[in-house]
């Protein structure tokens, strides 16, 4: 499933400079194309649905990409920031990703990946040394909910998480909150219980928003959550309060 | 010499237009437009015809041929130009019309010639004026106030006019003329003592008549009259102005050393002047200068005394005024003892500065620094608490924004402490920031000096104020500015004490008089002129290029670019020469005795500020259209010489057609890298051109070793200049705004603010002694706590890479669109436009459009 293409090119959908949410400090976020999950609420279909890659994906060489990352080095240094690889699932292009991460480390650029964690342990192992921060997108902890929402089971993911937490890596967790889809009071409790074991440095709730719908329309794709509304403030507060019972401080915007 | 253009025009019109029912304005150039405005607004008369063969604007205008057909008996033709040649031509064209029907609105030799006839005019006689003059003299030298009884019988405006005419005719020295006018203006000033205020005083728009020229034409008139330029030069300068190859707003634009008078008090200053007056009485020039100084300091004293009296008189109705009266009584003679008195003296000193006619860009300097000793004293003595201090500051802030015609571009500089005084810095810095947020007025302009000692508290407060969307404070990097100032002969100690004048021009308060708005050249226009062999395609006016060359002769990009650089260099040399001549003319015709009072060394040298009496008196030259020129040149390089899609001689046609019918070329241009995206090829060109400009200005060095300070900020002039231009080869459409200041062209900085920072940092900002501006726009959600911190870090990085200034607008696009549609609902929407904050709804549509276009730096 993971691409083993021996190429010097990466498939990306965009590079965003001056990102201030995807990790500490000022960051450049690179969105890599390709994903092995199909979340119902996905708001980056252009990086996920292969049928439309011909419209949305750019091929850039590793050196080009690395050069662009280096552009903002001064800003990284002064703010404690760096580069974040997101997507899609960035680890889908593990070989190229690893080389870029390695180069970043030699240039003392701090690195982060935003990942759902759905791949073999040995792949994770191969890149973990070059990553300073892992932002784990936790869609669900219960197996059934995970399958329902993403199309895949989460056994491998939870296995990987255990390894990460044992390796003394900084870990942030992001939870998409799509009320009554992946999140219910019950699921929130599952998450709380699970998260106390891996002790992330930071937990962020990401309220579902409808801004992705226009992309589906643009590419003529079917969108399955049209009737779902963003969570209310009360629902978000409730989620926070549940996590608090497990001594987890979650934030949301 | 004392009647402004407007009054002159009014007088001429008054005598004729009232009885005529058909009026034609001919020609309809700049002068014609002025006359039309006066006719429409002052007389409420609508002209019947506008006549001009060359007018290219939007108002319907008749060609001369058509006009001759509709000519009728009794129609009045207003001849609206100054050039004798043109006048003669017009008169020839209209030879069948009786002379009486043609009114010369700008009769050259009659302008500024007095209407004083037969030694008496409508109720006053020459003797009356002589008495008044001696009365004023007695007030100055003997403190005799009988002059008040002499002015009582007259209507104020009438008396003022008559006396100024008298001054011009009887007192030969210009400084004395202006000083006595100012003194009389003080005696005649209508005082309003407001209820419930802690500080008195209100700026009045009506200034003494004897003030600066109202426009470039009037200046050129004087330059020519004084033989500083010949008529051919005068003609060329006017042509260049009419196509907006340059603009200028001389005068004002200074930070007076108000601090000095706060420290010494009036009496001490007065006795210093008296001593000098006695010491140097043998030297006629100096003696006259000292006399002017005596007159103006008396004027200030008299103003304060009158306010004291007025407050006493009204204090029975309002007890607070008793306190005001006592404060005024004290500061009329002695140095202020409290924060309250210091603010009062500061305000009244400023009020009189405006009365002298220094209306533009008179800035207050480092207010938080020089007021701090008063604040601290009161605080330590327990006579002032923070709440009262806050009240006083709000009152002061409101005074600064009271009359928008009189009070503009008053900059207040805060911050920039040289060491860590305390954890939080100077408390006044914070209070001023809060006052700005509270009053939400567009005046004063607030500038924050930052350096490594700027405390977190100040940064946080500043970003909080910025986040409310008023574009203030602008942020300045001490290190770069100090370097830039030292480069033009300013000592390190003085440079470290810089403050901001007008928009963003660094100056040394009380020590530097540098006409920061001396001249602004439109670099993009020069490129246009090269495409059109020196003839402006919009106005038809001509500019003498160094080398007029057929475009097809440029066989490669380098030869074209090389010639552009030569033209640029030569244009700058010409501009420096003109500035120098104009400056000499100012020294001669418009000394500023009151402003001189507040500038160090004028007393020692015995010279007016306008005659280089200050410690530093460099001249300034600014540049507009930078990003347009750089992007256009790159487009020429790629499209004409690399891709060979068109030839260079086709470019003028494409520009004339505003890209209509050339969509593919337009698309190609759109895809070419643009300045502001951290692209080497473009940024290097920008670097080379800015370096070239600065070194050309350096070589314009003039008499007495004064240097030209270069500035790269455009206020709103990039819109004005753009109106006089066709499309440009960077893709800009005809008559739209040029790029603002040193910012990227509107909407082309697609790689976000960090790329903009890096592009700008390729230019040598530490040599831009007259300042520069970088505008960035952010949506409000950028100002949440965590993101705000990132923003600050990005600005600090920009500064560490050599950035000098940045200003942040915080609004969302929707708000701006709404404001454009429903201006009534958004009257208080402040935005920052190249160097100054103003109300969005008051801007012209072009400028509004530009602000909306400016790329939104928001996370997707």
Task: Give a three-class secondary structure readout of A6-67.
Answer: CCCEEEEEEEEEEECCCCCCCEEEEEECCCCCCCCCCCCHHHCCHHHHHHHCEEEEHHHHHH
pLDDT of residue B537: 95
Please choose, from the candidates B517, B587, B506, the residue with its C-alpha nearest in 3D space to the C-alpha of residue B250. Answer: B517
What does the alpha-carbon distance between residue B245 and residue B149 come to, in Å, rounded to a whole number? 52
Q: What are phi and psi of B75, to 5 degrees?
A: -75, 140
For chain B, residues with pLDDT lower than 70 are 1-5, 56-57, 83, 108-124, 195-196, 205-207, 209-211, 359, 404-406, 420-424, 702-705, 781, 827-828, 830, 832-838, 854-860
Instruction: Read off the CATH number of the domain in which B19 is found.
Output: 3.40.50.20
The number of beta carbons lying within 10 Å of the beta carbon of residue B735 is 18
Torsion of CA B598, B601, B604, B606, to 10 degrees: -70
Q: How far is B565 from chain A (nearest CA, A)?
A: 30
Q: Which residues of chain B make contact with A26, given a CB cutoff of 8 A? A: 754, 790, 793-794, 797
pTM, entire model: 0.84
Q: What are phi and psi of B555, to 5 degrees?
A: -80, -25
| Alpha helices (H) along B280-359 | 284-314, 320-331, 339-355
Do B783 and B769 contact (CB within 8 A), yes or no? no
Q: Is A25 on the interface with B (CB under 8 A)?
A: yes
Do B662 and B654 contact (CB within 8 A), yes or no? yes
Number of helical H runs and strand E runs in chain B: 34, 19
Q: Where are the domains of chain A?
A: 10-252
Please give the residue range of the domain that contains residue B39. Answer: 2-112
Interface A-B, measured as beta-carbon pairs within 8 A, has a size of: 54
Residue B87 placed within a domain: yes
When CB atoms are compared, the residue of B758, B790, B791 closest to A71 is B758
Please choose, from the candidates B82, B164, B89, B83, the residue with its C-alpha nearest in 3D space to the C-alpha of residue B129. Answer: B164
Please choose, from the candidates A82, A66, A96, A75, the residue with its C-alpha nearest in 3D space to the C-alpha of residue A3. Answer: A96
Q: Is B752 on the interface with A (CB under 8 A)?
A: yes
Number of compact structural domains in chain B: 1
Q: Is A24 on the interface with B (CB under 8 A)?
A: no
Specify whether domain A10-252 bears CATH 3.40.50.2300.
no
CA atoms within 13 A on the CB side of B349: 29
DSSP letter string, B367-433: HHHHHHHHHHHHHHTT---HHHHHHHHHHHHHHHTS-TTT-B--EEEEE--SS-SSTT--HHHHHHH
Q: Which residue of B has its CA nearest to A15?
A: B751
pLDDT of residue B5: 62
The answer to whether B752 contacts A18, with C-beta atoms less than 8 Å apart, is yes
Please choose, from the candidates B691, B529, B585, B519, the residue with its C-alpha nearest in 3D space to the C-alpha of residue B229. Answer: B585
pLDDT of residue B207: 65
When CB atoms are compared, the residue of B753, B786, B793 closest to A78 is B793
When CB atoms are compared, the residue of A20, A21, A75 closest to B797 is A75
What does the alpha-carbon distance between residue B202 and residue B219 come to, in Å, rounded to a whole number? 30
Name the strands in the sheet holding B102-104, side by side, starting at the edge strand that comes first in the sequence: B49-50, B23-26, B76-79, B102-104
Q: Is A78 on the interface with B (CB under 8 A)?
A: yes
pLDDT of residue B3: 45
Q: Which residues of chain A make contact with B790, given a CB cutoff of 8 A? A: 18, 20, 25-26, 79, 81
Can you name the residues that pair with A61 across neighbouring β-strands?
Answer: A9
Residue of A73, A77, A78 for testing the chain B interface, max B β-carbons within 10 Å: A78
Q: How far is A122 from chain B (nearest CA, A)?
A: 34
pLDDT of residue B211: 66
Based on the number of CB atoms within 10 Å of its own CB, is B60 exposed (0-12), middle (13-18) or buried (19 or more)? exposed
Q: Which of residues 788-847 of B touch A (CB under 8 A)?
A: 790-791, 793-794, 796-797, 800-801
* DSSP single-letter state for residue A158: H
The answer to whether A26 contacts B793, with C-beta atoms less than 8 Å apart, is yes
The answer to whether A16 contacts B860, with C-beta atoms less than 8 Å apart, is yes
Residue B6 placed within a domain: yes
Q: How far is A140 from chain B (nearest CA, A)?
A: 25
A173 Cα distance to chain centroid: 9
When CB atoms are compared, the residue of B758, B791, B800 closest to A78 is B800
Residue of B794, B795, B798 for testing the chain A interface, max A β-carbons within 10 Å: B794
Q: Which residues of chain A make contact with B786, given a CB cutoff of 8 A? A: 20
Q: Is A242 on the interface with B (CB under 8 A)?
A: no
Based on the number of CB atoms within 10 Å of its own CB, is B71 exposed (0-12), middle (13-18) or buried (19 or more)? middle
Can you name the residues that pair with B830 across neighbouring β-strands?
Answer: B839
Q: Is A79 on the interface with B (CB under 8 A)?
A: yes
Segment A195-213, tens digit of pLDDT: 998 889 999 999 998 767 7
When CB atoms are compared, the residue of B758, B791, B859 closest to A19 is B859
pLDDT of residue B858: 43
Terminus-to-terminus CA distance in chain A, angstroms? 35
Q: Which residue of B has its CA nearest to A21?
A: B787
The number of beta carbons lying within 10 Å of the beta carbon of residue A63 is 12
Q: Is B779 on the interface with A (CB under 8 A)?
A: no
Q: Which residues of chain B make contact with A78, given a CB cutoff of 8 A? A: 793, 796-797, 800
Do A156 and A119 contact (CB within 8 A), yes or no? yes
What does the alpha-carbon distance between residue B323 and residue B329 come to, in Å, rounded to a whole number? 10
Segment A107-141, tens digit of pLDDT: 999 999 999 999 999 999 999 999 999 999 999 99
Going by their DSSP bridges, the two strands B505-508 and B498-501 should be labelled as antiparallel
Q: Which residues of chain A make contact with B762, given a CB cutoff of 8 A? A: none
Residue B137 placed within a domain: no
Q: Which residue of B has its CA nearest to A27?
A: B790
| Alpha helices (H) along A167-232 | 185-198, 213-218
What token pair was written down for A108?
A: 């003392």
Q: How far is A77 from chain B (nearest CA, A)?
A: 9
What does the alpha-carbon distance between residue B269 and residue B345 come to, in Å, rounded to a whole number? 14
Can you name the residues that pair with B102 across neighbouring β-strands?
Answer: B77
Do A25 and A18 contact (CB within 8 A), yes or no? no
Residue of A75, A83, A214, A252 for testing the chain B interface, max B β-carbons within 10 Å: A75
What token pair was written down for B532?
A: 């059109």
pLDDT of residue B590: 87
User: Cα angle at B801 between B795 and B805, to 5 degrees?
Assistant: 50
Residue of A46, A67, A74, A202 for testing the chain B interface, max B β-carbons within 10 Å: A74
Residue B273 placed within a domain: no
pLDDT of residue B121: 43
Q: Which of residues 475-494 of B touch A (CB under 8 A)?
A: none
Q: Does residue A245 register a pLDDT over 90? A: yes
What token pair was written down for B454?
A: 């700027």
Segment A135-160, tens digit of pLDDT: 999 999 999 999 999 999 999 999 99
DSSP letter string, B30-68: HHHHHHHHHHHHHS----SEEB-SS--SSS--B-HHHHH
Residue B830 placed within a domain: no
Do B795 and B806 contact (CB within 8 A), yes or no? yes
pLDDT of residue B227: 83
Q: Which residue of A has its CA nearest to B795?
A: A75
Q: What are phi and psi of A114, to 5 degrees?
A: -105, 115
Q: Is A213 on the interface with B (CB under 8 A)?
A: no
Do B422 and B381 contact (CB within 8 A), yes or no? no
The answer to whether A25 contacts B790, with C-beta atoms less than 8 Å apart, is yes
Do B302 and B186 contact (CB within 8 A), yes or no? yes
Do B803 and B762 contact (CB within 8 A), yes or no? no
Do B249 and B259 contact (CB within 8 A), yes or no? no
When CB atoms are compared, the residue of B678, B796, B797 closest to A71 is B678
Q: How far is B860 from chain A (nearest CA, A)?
A: 9
When CB atoms are compared, the residue of B751, B753, B797 closest to A74 is B797
The answer to whether B755 contacts A79, with C-beta atoms less than 8 Å apart, is no
Please choose, from the candidates B648, B720, B611, the residue with its C-alpha nearest in 3D space to the C-alpha of residue B248. Answer: B720
Going by their DSSP bridges, the two strands B498-501 and B474-477 should be labelled as unpaired
Q: ipTM of the assembly? A: 0.87
Can you name the residues that pair with B51 across neighbouring β-strands?
Answer: B62
The answer to whether B790 contacts A26, with C-beta atoms less than 8 Å apart, is yes
Q: Does residue A5 register a pLDDT over 60? A: no
Q: Which residue of A has its CA nearest to B752?
A: A17
Q: How far is A4 from chain B (nearest CA, A)?
A: 31
For B128, residues 6+ apart whose C-beta sits below 8 A from its C-beta are: none
| Distances from the Cα of B579 to the Cα of B213, B219, B220, B420, B698, angstroms | 15, 11, 11, 42, 14
The answer to whether A79 contacts B790, with C-beta atoms less than 8 Å apart, is yes
For B505, residues 6+ apart whose C-beta sits below 8 A from its C-beta are: B253, B514, B516, B620, B711, B713, B770, B771
Dihedral of alpha carbons B632, B637, B641, B645, sign: negative
* DSSP single-letter state for residue A151: S
Q: How far is A17 from chain B (nearest CA, A)?
A: 7
Q: What is the 3-state secondary structure (H, E, C) of B743-765?
A: CCCCCCCCCHHHHHHHHHCCCCH
Do A15 and A31 contact (CB within 8 A), yes or no? yes
The answer to whether A16 contacts B793, with C-beta atoms less than 8 Å apart, is no
Do A140 and A182 contact (CB within 8 A), yes or no? yes
Q: Is B467 on the interface with A (CB under 8 A)?
A: no
Q: Which residues of chain A make contact with B751, given a CB cutoff of 8 A? A: 17
For B262, residues 6+ apart whose C-beta sits below 8 A from its C-beta are: B335, B336, B342, B345, B346, B370, B371, B374
Q: Which residue of B has its CA nearest to A25?
A: B790
* DSSP single-letter state for residue B647: -
Residue B57 placed within a domain: yes
């Amino acid at each position: 499933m993971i691409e083993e293409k021996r190429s010097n090119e990466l498939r990306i959908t965009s590079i965003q400079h001056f990102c201030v949410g995807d990790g500490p400090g000022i960051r450049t976020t690179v969105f890599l194309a390709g994903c092995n999950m199909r979340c119902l609420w996905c708001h980056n279909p252009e990086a996920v649905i292969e049928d439309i890659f011909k419209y949305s994906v750019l091929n850039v060489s590793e050196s080009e990409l690395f050069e662009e990352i280096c552009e903002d080095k001064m800003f990284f240094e002064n703010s404690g920031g760096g580069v974040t690889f997101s997507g899609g699932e960035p680890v889908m292009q593990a070989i190229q990703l690893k080389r870029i991460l390695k180069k970043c480390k030699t240039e003392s650029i701090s690195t982060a990946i935003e990942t759902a964690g759905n791949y073999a342990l040995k792949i994770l192992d191969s890149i973990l040394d070059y990553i300073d921060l892992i932002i784990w997108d936790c869609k669900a902890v219960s197996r059934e909910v995970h399958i329902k929402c993403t199309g895949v089971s989460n056994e491998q993911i939870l296995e990987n998480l255990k390894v990460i937490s044992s390796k003394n890596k900084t870990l942030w967790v992001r939870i998409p909150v799509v009320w009554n889809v992946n999140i219910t009071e019950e699921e929130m409790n599952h998450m709380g219980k699970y998260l106390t074991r891996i002790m992330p440095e930071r937990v962020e709730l990401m309220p579902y928003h409808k801004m992705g719908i226009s992309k589906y329309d643009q590419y003529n794709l079917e969108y399955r959550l049209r009737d779902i509304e963003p969570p209310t403030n009360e629902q978000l507060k409730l989620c926070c309060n549940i996590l608090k019972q497990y001594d987890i401080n979650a934030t949301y915007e | 010499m004392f009647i402004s253009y407007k009054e002159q025009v009014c007088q001429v019109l008054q005598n004729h237009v009232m009885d005529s029912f058909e009026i034609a304005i001919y020609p309809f150039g700049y002068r014609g437009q002025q006359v039309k405005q006066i006719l429409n607004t002052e007389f409420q008369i609508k002209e019947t015809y506008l006549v001009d063969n060359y007018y290219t604007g939007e108002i319907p205008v008749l060609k001369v041929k058509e006009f001759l057909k509709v000519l009728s008996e009794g129609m009045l033709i207003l001849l609206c130009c100054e050039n004798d040649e043109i006048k003669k031509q017009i008169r020839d064209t209209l030879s069948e019309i009786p002379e009486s029907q043609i009114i010369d609105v700008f009769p050259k030799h009659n302008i500024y010639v007095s209407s004083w006839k037969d030694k008496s005019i409508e109720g006053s006689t020459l003797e009356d004026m002589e008495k008044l003059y001696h009365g004023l003299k007695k007030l100055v030298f003997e403190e005799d106030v009988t002059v008040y009884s002499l002015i009582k019988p007259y209507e104020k405006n009438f008396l003022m006019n008559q006396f100024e005419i008298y001054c011009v005719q009887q007192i030969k020295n210009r400084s004395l003329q202006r000083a006595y006018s100012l003194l009389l203006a003080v005696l005649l000033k209508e005082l309003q003592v407001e209820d419930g205020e802690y500080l008195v005083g209100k700026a009045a728009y009506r200034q003494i008549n004897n003030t600066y020229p109202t426009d470039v034409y009037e200046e050129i008139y004087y330059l020519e009259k004084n033989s500083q330029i010949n008529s051919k030069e005068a003609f060329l300068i006017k042509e260049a102005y009419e196509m907006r190859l340059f603009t200028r707003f001389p005068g004002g634009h200074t930070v007076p050393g108000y601090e000095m008078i706060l420290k010494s008090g009036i009496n001490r200053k007065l006795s210093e002047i008296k001593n000098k007056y006695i010491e140097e009485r043998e030297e006629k020039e100096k003696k006259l200068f000292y006399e002017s100084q005596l007159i103006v300091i008396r004027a200030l004293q008299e103003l304060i005394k009158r306010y004291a009296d007025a407050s006493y008189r009204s204090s029975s109705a309002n007890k607070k005024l008793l306190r005001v009266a006592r404060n005024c009584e004290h500061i009329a003679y002695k140095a202020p003892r409290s924060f309250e008195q210091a603010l009062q003296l500061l305000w009244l000193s400023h009020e009189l500065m405006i009365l002298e006619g220094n209306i533009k860009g008179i800035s207050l300097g480092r207010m938080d620094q020089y007021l701090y000793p008063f604040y601290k004293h009161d605080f330590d003595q327990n006579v002032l608490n923070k709440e009262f201090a806050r009240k006083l500051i709000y009152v002061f802030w409101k005074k600064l924004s009271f009359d928008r015609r009189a009070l503009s571009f008053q900059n207040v500089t805060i911050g920039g402490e040289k060491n860590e005084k305390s954890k939080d810095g100077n408390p006044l810095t914070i209070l001023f920031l809060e006052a700005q947020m509270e009053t939400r007025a567009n005046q004063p302009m607030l500038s924050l000096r930052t350096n490594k000692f700027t405390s977190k508290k100040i940064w946080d407060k500043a970003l909080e104020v910025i986040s409310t969307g008023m574009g203030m404070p602008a942020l300045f990097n001490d290190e770069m500015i100090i370097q830039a100032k030292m480069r033009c002969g300013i000592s390190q100690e003085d440079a470290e004490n810089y403050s901001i004048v007008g928009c963003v021009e660094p100056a040394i308060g009380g020590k530097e008089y540098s006409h920061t708005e001396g001249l602004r050249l439109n670099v993009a226009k020069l490129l246009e002129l090269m495409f059109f062999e020196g003839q402006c395609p919009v106005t038809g006016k001509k500019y003498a290029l160094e080398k007029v060359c057929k475009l097809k002769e440029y066989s490669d990009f380098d030869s074209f670019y090389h010639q552009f650089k030569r033209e640029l260099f030569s244009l700058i040399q010409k501009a420096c020469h003109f500035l120098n001549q104009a400056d000499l003319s100012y020294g001669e015709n418009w000394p500023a005795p009151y402003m001189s009072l507040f500038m160090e060394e004028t007393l020692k040298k015995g010279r007016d500020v306008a005659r280089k009496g200050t410690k530093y008196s460099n001249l300034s030259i600014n540049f507009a259209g930078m990003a347009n020129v750089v992007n256009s040149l790159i487009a020429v390089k790629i499209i004409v010489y690399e891709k060979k899609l068109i030839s260079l001689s086709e470019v003028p046609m494409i520009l004339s057609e505003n890209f209509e019918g050339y969509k593919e070329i337009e698309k190609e241009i759109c895809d070419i890298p643009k300045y502001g995206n951290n692209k080497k090829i473009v940024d290097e060109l920008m670097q080379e051109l800015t370096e070239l400009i600065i070194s050309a200005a350096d070589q314009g060095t003039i008499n007495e070793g004064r240097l030209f300070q270069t500035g790269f900020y455009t206020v709103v002039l990039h819109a004005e200049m753009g109106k006089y231009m066709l499309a440009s080869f960077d893709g800009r459409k005809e008559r739209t705004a040029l790029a603002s200041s040193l910012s990227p062209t509107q909407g082309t900085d697609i790689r976000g603010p960090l790329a903009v920072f890096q592009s700008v940092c390729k230019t040598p900002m530490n040599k831009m002694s007259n300042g520069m501006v970088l505008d960035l726009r952010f949506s409000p959600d950028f100002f949440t706590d965590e993101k705000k911190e990132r923003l600050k870090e990005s600005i600090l990085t920009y500064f560490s890479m050599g950035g000098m200034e940045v200003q942040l607008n915080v609004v969302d696009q929707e708000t701006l669109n709404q404001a454009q549609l429903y201006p009534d609902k958004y009257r208080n929407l402040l935005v920052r436009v190249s160097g100054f904050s103003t109300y969005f709804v008051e801007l012209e549509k072009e400028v509004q459009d530009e602000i909306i276009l400016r790329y939104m730096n928001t996370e997707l």
